[in-house]
C-alpha cells in the first residue's frame, strides 16, 4: 500500500529530513528522478554487506571448529604417545619374560639331565653294593663252613683215649714186649691243622676288611643329614668281628651274633608325635635301618585317581624316589599283578624296590608275608589305608600309617 499511495508517502516525508532516514528509505519516500537505479544499487550494496557479515560469521564459526579439532588432535596424539610408550614397555617386559622362561627351561632341562645322571649313578652303585653283598655273603658262608670243620677237628683231637680216663690204682705191671703202636691217624687225613688255622685267620681278616668296606659304601649312599649317614650303620652293613689278642697265627672264632628278639616291637616316636600323621611318618622313615612297605594301588588310587594304572604307578614311584633320597630308608612297593600274575609295565625309573603279587594272591597278602619274613630286629613301617593290612601289620609288630599321610609328604 505504501508503494501505491503517493499522498501518504508525501505526508510521511513532510515531517522528516533526509538525515533522519538512511538513503534508501529517503529515496523510497520521496522518489526523485532516477531513484530506482540508485535504490537498486543501495539494495545490492546492502545485500553484499549482509553476505559479507554472514561469511564472516561462518568463518569465525569455522575457525572455532578448527581450533576445537586442533585441540582434539593434540589430545589424541598425546594419548597415542602414551599408548605407544605403554606398548613398548609391555613388549620389553614380554621379551624379558620370554628370555627368563627360556633360561628357566634350559636350567630345568639341565637339572633333569643331571637327575637322570645321578639316578643312573645311584642305580649302578646299588648294583655294585648288591654284588659286594653277594660276595660278602659267599665269603661268610665259606668262613662258617671252615669254622665248622675246624671245630670238628679240634673236638676230635681234644677227646682223650678211653684208657687214660682212669688213673693207675696200683703198681704198674710190666708191659709185654710188643712193638710200639703207630700214632693215631689225623682227624682230617691229608690236612695240616696249622695250614687250616692260617687259612681261617686269613678268612677272618678278609671278612673284617669286607665288612668295613661294605659299611663305608652303605654310609656313602646316605645323605649327610640322614641319621646314621655319617656314624650309624646302614641296615645292610656287616659288623666286623672284634679283633682278639694276637695268638701267633690262629685267631679266636668270631663271636656269635646276638639272638634276635622273639617278637618285633613298633618304633616309638618322640613325645607329641603319633605314627598316623605326616610328621610322625617322616620321623619313622628317617629311622636308621627301617624298612618301609607301601600298599601301591591303595596309595596311588587315592593320590592320582584321574590317571590310569600305569600313570599311577609311575607317579607314585617318582614321588617315593625323592622321599627315599631325603630319608635314606629302604622302600618296597607292592602292586597287584595282572590276571596271570605277570608284571605290568613300569615306564619310570625304579628308585625303590617294586613287587607284583602272583595271580593267586592279593597285594595285601604279599605285604603281610613280607612283614612276617623280615627279621624281628628290623623296624618295619607299612603304609596302607586298608584296614586288614594295617591291623595285620600291627599284630606283627610293625608301625602302620594311612596312605593320605604319605601323600601329604609327597606333596599331593
Residue 381: what are its φ and ψ, rounded to 5°? -120, 125
In-domain check, residue 109 = no
Q: What's the Cα-to-Cα distance from 188 to each of 90, 157, 192, 233, rounded to whole Å?
A: 94, 10, 8, 40
In-domain check, residue 309 = yes
C-alpha cell at 241: 668281628
In-domain check, residue 81 = yes
Residue 169 has pLDDT above 50, yes or no: no
Give the pLDDT confidence of 361-411 residue by residue, as tens digits. Answer: 899 999 999 999 999 999 999 999 999 999 999 999 999 999 999 999 998
- Cβ atoms of residues 363 and 357 within 8 Å: yes
Give the pLDDT confidence of 49-61 residue by residue, as tens digits. Answer: 888 888 889 889 9
Looking up residue 397, the CATH number of its domain turns out to be 3.40.50
C-alpha cell at 88: 613398548
Q: How far apart are CA 233 and CA 227, in angstroms?
A: 9
Q: How far apart are CA 323 and CA 119, in angstroms?
A: 14
Write down which residue in 78, 98, 118 finishes a domain: 98
Q: How far apart are CA 116 and CA 109, in angstroms?
A: 10
**pLDDT higher for 136 or 296?**
296
Strand partners, 383: 294, 401
How high is the pLDDT of residue 276? Answer: 84
User: Which range among 29-33, 142-146, 244-248, 265-269 shows the weakest confidence by mean pLDDT?
Assistant: 244-248
Q: How far apart are CA 109 and CA 6, in angstroms?
A: 115
C-alpha cell at 307: 590317571
In-domain check, residue 74 = yes
How high is the pLDDT of residue 222? Answer: 56
User: In terms of Cα–Cα distance, which of 335, 341, 334, 336 is closest to 359?
Assistant: 341
Q: What is the mean pLDDT of residues 328-345?
A: 73
Q: What is the mean pLDDT of residues 336-347?
A: 59
How high is the pLDDT of residue 26? Answer: 76
**Structure confidence at residue 217 as a pLDDT band (50, 70, 90):** low
Highest mean pLDDT among 126-130, 221-225, 239-243: 126-130
Write down which residue in 72, 98, 124 finishes a domain: 98
C-alpha cell at 243: 679283633
Q: What is the CA radius of gyration of the chain?
A: 55
Write down which residue in 98, 114, 144 finishes a domain: 98
Highest mean pLDDT among 37-46, 97-106, 233-242, 301-310: 301-310
Within 8 A by CB and 6+ apart from 244, the residues are 251, 252
DSSP type of residue 377: T
Average pLDDT of the chain is 77
Give the pLDDT confidence of 237-263 residue by residue, as tens digits. Answer: 334 444 444 444 445 555 555 666 778
Domain count, the chain: 2
pTM, entire model = 0.39
**Structure confidence at residue 189 as a pLDDT band (50, 70, 90):** low
Residue 72 has pLDDT above 70, yes or no: yes
Place of cell 534508501: 24
**How big is the chain, counted in residues?**
412
Q: The domain containing residue 306 runs over which residues? A: 278-409
- Cβ atoms of residues 353 and 332 within 8 Å: yes
Amino acid at each position: 500500500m505504501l508503494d501505491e499511495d503517493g499522498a501518504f508517502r508525501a505526508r510521511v516525508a513532510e515531517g522528516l529530513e533526509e538525515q533522519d532516514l538512511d538513503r534508501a528509505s529517503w529515496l523510497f519516500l520521496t522518489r526523485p528522478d532516477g531513484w530506482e537505479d540508485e535504490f537498486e544499487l543501495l539494495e545490492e550494496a546492502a545485500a553484499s554487506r549482509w553476505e559479507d557479515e554472514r561469511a564472516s560469521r561462518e568463518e569465525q564459526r569455522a575457525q572455532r571448529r578448527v581450533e576445537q579439532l586442533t585441540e582434539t588432535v593434540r589430545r589424541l596424539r598425546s594419548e597415542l604417545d602414551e599408548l605407544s610408550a605403554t606398548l613398548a614397555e609391555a613388549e620389553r617386559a614380554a621379551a624379558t619374560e620370554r628370555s627368563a622362561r627360556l633360561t628357566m627351561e634350559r636350567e630345568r632341562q639341565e637339572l633333569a639331565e643331571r637327575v637322570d645322571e645321578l639316578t643312573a649313578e645311584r642305580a649302578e652303585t646299588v648294583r655294585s653294593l648288591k654284588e659286594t653283598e653277594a660276595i660278602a655273603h659267599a665269603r661268610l658262608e665259606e668262613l662258617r663252613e671252615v669254622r665248622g670243620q675246624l671245630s670238628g677237628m679240634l673236638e676230635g683231637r681234644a677227646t682223650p683215649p678211653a684208657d687214660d680216663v682212669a688213673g693207675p690204682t696200683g703198681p704198674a705191671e710190666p708191659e709185654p714186649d710188643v712193638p710200639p703202636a703207630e700214632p693215631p691217624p689225623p682227624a682230617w687225613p691229608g690236612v695240616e691243622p696249622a695250614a687250616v688255622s692260617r687259612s681261617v685267620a686269613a678268612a677272618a681278616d678278609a671278612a673284617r676288611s669286607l665288612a668295613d668296606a661294605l659299611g663305608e659304601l652303605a654310609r656313602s649312599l646316605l645323605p649327610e643329614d640322614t641319621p646314621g649317614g655319617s656314624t650309624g650303620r646302614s641296615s645292610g652293613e656287616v659288623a666286623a668281628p672284634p679283633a682278639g689278642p694276637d695268638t701267633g697265627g690262629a685267631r679266636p672264632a668270631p663271636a656269635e651274633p646276638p639272638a634276635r628278639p622273639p617278637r618285633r616291637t613298633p618304633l616309638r616316636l618322640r613325645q607329641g608325635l603319633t605314627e598316623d600323621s605326616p610328621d610322625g611318618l617322616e620321623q619313622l622313615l628317617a629311622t636308621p635301618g627301617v624298612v618301609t612297605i607301601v600298599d601301591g594301588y591303595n596309595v596311588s588310587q587315592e593320590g592320582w585317581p584321574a590317571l590310569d594304572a600305569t600313570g599311577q604307578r609311575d607317579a607314585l614311584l617318582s614321588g617315593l624316589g625323592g622321599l627315599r633320597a631325603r630319608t635314606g630308608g629302604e622302600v618296597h612297593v607292592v602292586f597287584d599283578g595282572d590276571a596271570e600274575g605277570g608284571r605290568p609295565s613300569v615306564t619310570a625309573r625304579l628308585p625303590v624296590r617294586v613287587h607284583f603279587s602272583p595271580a593267586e594272591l592279593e597285594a595285601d597278602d604279599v605285604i603281610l608275608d613280607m612283614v612276617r619274613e623280615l627279621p624281628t630286629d628290623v623296624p618295619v613301617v607299612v603304609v596302607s589305608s586298608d584296614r586288614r593290612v594295617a591291623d595285620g601289620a600291627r599284630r606283627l609288630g610293625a608301625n602302620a600309617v594311612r596312605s593320605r599321610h604319605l601323600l601329604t609328604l609327597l606333596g599331593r
